[in-house]
Homo-oligomer: A and B are copies of this chain.
Amino acid sequence: METPDNATETSEPTGIAAQDWATASAEPQYRAAVVDLLGALAYGELAAFERLAEDAKLAPTLADKAELAKMASAEFHHFERLTDRLTAVDVEPTGAMEPFAKALDDFHRQTAPSDWLEGLVKAYVGDSIASDFYREVAVRLDSDTRSLVLAVLDDTGHGNFAVEKVRAAIEADPRVGGRLALWARRLMGEALSQAQRVVADRDALSTMLVGGVADGFDLAEVGRMFSRITEAHTKRMAALGLAA
């Protein structure tokens, strides 16, 4: 089976990426990988909902609180779309999510923001790396799953809101930048360590990630994907005024 061997090459889809779900899901290992992916993404959205709702409590103004509540609600609707899809393909959503609950809960527990700005940086960093990760994966997916994954990565608008507020805070007090840069580094470290744990645990998912269900598991390729994601993170932090 042919699949692109590097997610950044996005020419003509080949292999599974050229198929729809009905065709691609006939292969049990591919089906299992997609169920894993949708389960992980769904739990991620539910956890993001909780985290944003929690951060809303730290909001300095009522308008900021309403803005975070709106984002939380958008994440919840993504969660619903993902669990609806799981149900539509005869998978019980809870069962699909459970393997990923611990890693995501651990991540959130170990990175509980201590104030409003840390919460915003976390929302921004977390969203961006999740979005990079799912875009890397999307190119390897069948067309139906790919549209769904790309759709739920869209339109929550956290990015702009967080960037604007964080920039303004650093401008007002440059020392804030140093503290938030350390925080962003810690977030990235925790995210990578949880992600590597998940990859090591879930065979079907990992095999898909590294370039094709039939090609076996290549830890080096996963490493390269993580490097690409880390690089993109570093650039984003620099643009935000934070040395990553």
Chain A: residues with CB nearer than 8 A to chain B? 43, 46, 49-50, 53-54, 56-57, 61-63, 65-66, 69-70, 72-73, 76-77, 79-80, 83, 93-94, 97-98, 101
Contacts and interface: CB of A to CB of B under 8 A. Distances in A.
B69 A49 contact: yes
**Copies of the protein in its oligomer:** 2
A83 B77 CA distance: 20
Judged by DSSP, the binding face of A is: helix
Contacts of A53: 49-50, 53-54, 56, 72
A73 B56 CA distance: 14
Contacts of A70: 76, 80
A179 to B, nearest CB: 27
Contacts of A43: 62
Contacts of A63: 94
A79 B66 contact: yes
